[in-house]
Structure 1
Amino acid sequence: MTQFDKAIQTGRRLTRDSARAANSALSGGEMLQAAGDVINARLEIMAAGMADPSKLDLKEMSLMSTEKVEALSASASAIAKTFGDIGGRVSSSAMTEAGLAMQAATSSASASTPAGALQAQYSYAVGWWTRAAGQMLTLNSELLKGQTEAMRPIHRTAVANAKRLKK
């Protein structure tokens, strides 16, 4: 792959990440609005039940707990998967980098001239910088994806409740 192809690929990834971040922000705003609507509706239900216990909606009151537990459990599962995937990727990258560092040290130590040793060190440093930048871009992409996946069940529940409780 040429440097130009890599630049195009990186540009596409940055565009996807930007779109994902913007969609996540919009989804977060929608989720907060829906949560406010749900809290307001449920407070009205509780107030009506306190004024007249025969009007207390026990089904709705029980949903307040079970839905939260389900949504938060799904969110926690998504976060755990994301961090597990990232941990595996970071571990693999660290092992690869350790191998490349050993190769660079060997090349530097076995160089026949000081210039050759410096060239080996320079080549490793430039390669490391390129790899590190790519890994940070990948990490950023994975974290944005993980944020989206973690918010999805909470968003889905809050928006569905807001629609259901709207009168």
Structure 2
Amino acid sequence: MMRASGDVIAARMEIMAAGLADPSKIDLTEISLMGSEKVAALSASAIAAGRTLNQMGQTLTQTALNEAAIASRAATAMAGAKSPAALATAQFNYAMGWWGRAAGQALSLNTQMLKVQADALAPIHKAAVANARRLKK
């Protein structure tokens, strides 16, 4: 994408320079595409990122609801413990389970954040590469 962007910038600078040197040669179609294509690519990027962030929000909500249910069951187990040892065991089991779930959720969240980045970049990458190909003629 970086190379494609550089190629597009170079080609469009030549188009603008030619238009400044001789206004009758200015490519108004290409000049107008400079803005409209960016708006289209950024809009598609925002929609893609928003869609993935929405999915993340739903996942986080469901995770919080699940954790609340697990905590409730653990509290019930602790409250109903028949001895201090049983209480400590119930508390330990909840704590260890929580650490495992938290680690898994952190990895999942990191993966989802990488997906947001990839989804957001895809429309911009597609536009840059398509423009580089088109302007290479």
TM range (shorter): over 0.9
Code of the residue aligned with 1:48 in structure 2: it is A
Name the count of aligned residue pairs: 137
Residue aligning to 1:5: none
- In the superposition, the TM-score normalised over structure 2's length comes to 0.95
1:68 correspondence with 2:35: no
Detail structure 1 runs of 4+ shifted over 6 Å in the superposition.
none
Offset of residue 54 of structure 1 = 0.7
Please, which moves more after superposition, 75-84 or 143-152? 143-152
1:85 paired with 2:33, answer no
- Map 1:98-117 onto structure 2 (within 5 A): 98-117=68-87
Q: Secondary structure at the match of 1:112?
A: coil
Larger radius of gyration: 2
* d(CA) in 2 for partners of 1:32, 1:115: 62
Report the AA paired with residue 78 of structure 2.
Answer: S
Distance in 2, matches of 1:33 and 1:121, equals: 56
1:5-51 residue CA offsets vs partner (Å, 9 max, x unmatched): xxxxxxxxxxxxxxxxxxxxxxxxxx122111111111111111011
Amino acid at match of 1:75: S
Aligned residues: CA RMSD: 1.0
Aligned mate of 2:129, from 159, 163, 167 = 159
Within 5 A, what are the aligned runs for 1:34-73?
34-73=4-43
Give yes or no for the alignment of 1:144 onto 2:114: yes
> 3-state DSSP class of the match of 1:102?
helix
Superposed CA offset, 1:43-67 (max 9, x none): 1111110110011000101111111
Q: Distance in 2 between matches of 1:139 and 1:85?
A: 11
